[in-house]
Amino acid sequence: MEQLKSLRIILIQKRLNVYKGIIVNNILILVSVLVLASCSGGRNSTGYSLINDMVDSLAYEAFSENPHFDDGQSMQAPPANTIARGWMPDKRGSDGLLVVTSNPFPMNDYKWKRAEIFYNKTCSACHGVDGQSTGLVVTVGNFPTPPKFLSRRFKYSKRDDYTSGNIYNVITDGIGNMPSHAQQLYPEDRWAISEYVRERLMIKGK
Ligand code: HEC
């Protein structure tokens, strides 16, 4: 009896070994088929992908056709008079010139620091860090020398009643040989720089 039992166990073990072999072989074949399949289509093909949600999004692509709009396009022009966030247009008179106003954005320590950094980045190349027209563009580059901020030779107004609104106009529209800087700077930063120039570079040493 005992002998029969152990014989049966040996047989079962042998059969299990055979199954194991078959399973391992099949897994190997499956893996190599998958590996080879993922290489198909050349280097420009992404091969098969199982989960396509990232590729085929439910939303319409910007340039795709769209049955929901009359012109059949997904991308629509913004409605008339739409204003991009942060780009509130400046008030202009019927002559097209900016209406001089005062700074609508309150100043704080952060804004003063930011204004200084932006002045040094954007304006100092000509006007100099000290506002005394010592920038390289002027001293080395032979560019027309701007009026020193401590002088009284301004076009817009005398230094004493030169407002930050005047400076805002100069930065936004440019003046004479100075180009407009409206594209480089947000209105809020233009105002902050105007305050900075007025308070720290024009008044100093008055
Ligand atoms: C490319 C050189 C250049 C840069 C950059 C520049 N300016 Fe000027 N700026 C000038 C010149 C030149 C003038 C004189 C313009 C004229 O009268 O023809 C001037 C004039 C001015 C005036 C006096 C305007 C008046 O009433 O006569 C102010 C204020 C001024 N700039 C502020 C700034 C500020 C603020 C910046 C930075 C946002 C700046 N500028 C950037 C060249 C420059």
47-84, pLDDT tens digit by residue? Answer: 777 777 777 778 898 999 999 999 999 999 999 989 88
Ligand 1 atom closest to 135 (CA): 2
Question: What pLDDT shows up at residue 158?
Answer: 67
pLDDT tens digits, 149-203: 988 778 877 666 788 999 999 999 999 999 999 999 999 999 999 999 999 998 8
Q: How confident is the model at residue 204 (pLDDT cuts 50, 70, 90)?
A: low
| Probe residue for ligand 1, chosen from 119, 124, 127, 167 as the CB with the greatest number of ligand atoms within 8 Å | 127
128 C-beta neighbours (distance < 10 Å), count: 21
Considering the chain, what is the average pLDDT of its residues?
A: 88
For residue 96, what are its two tokens? 């097209």
Ligand 1 atom closest to 202 (CA): 29
For the residues 25-38, what does the mean pLDDT come to? 84
| Probe residue for ligand 1, chosen from 178, 184, 191, 197 as the CB with the greatest number of ligand atoms within 8 Å | 178
Question: What pLDDT shows up at residue 124?
Answer: 96
Report helix, strand or coil for 10: helix
Better-predicted residue by pLDDT, 49 or 101 = 101
> By CB neighbour count within 10 A (0-12 exposed, 13-18 middle, 19+ buried), where does 186 fall?
middle
Which amino acid, 49?
Answer: S
Ligand 1 atom closest to 156 (CA): 26
CA torsion through residues 135, 136, 140, 146, sign: negative
Separation CA 98–CA 94 (nearest Å):
9
> Whole-prediction pTM value?
0.69
Question: What pLDDT shows up at residue 41?
Answer: 67
Query: Residue 171's closest CA among 90, 104, 78, 107?
Result: 90
Question: What pLDDT shows up at residue 159?
Answer: 63
174 CA → ligand 1 middle, Å: 7
Query: Does pLDDT of 206 surpass 50?
Result: no
Q: Please identify which residue in the block is written with the tokens 């739409």.
A: 82
Pocket of ligand 1, beta carbon within 6 A: 122-123, 125-127, 137, 143-144, 146-147, 154-156, 167, 170-171, 175-178, 181, 193, 197
Question: What pLDDT shows up at residue 118?
Answer: 97
In DSSP terms, which residues pair with 178 in a beta bridge?
175
Better-predicted residue by pLDDT, 150 or 107 = 107
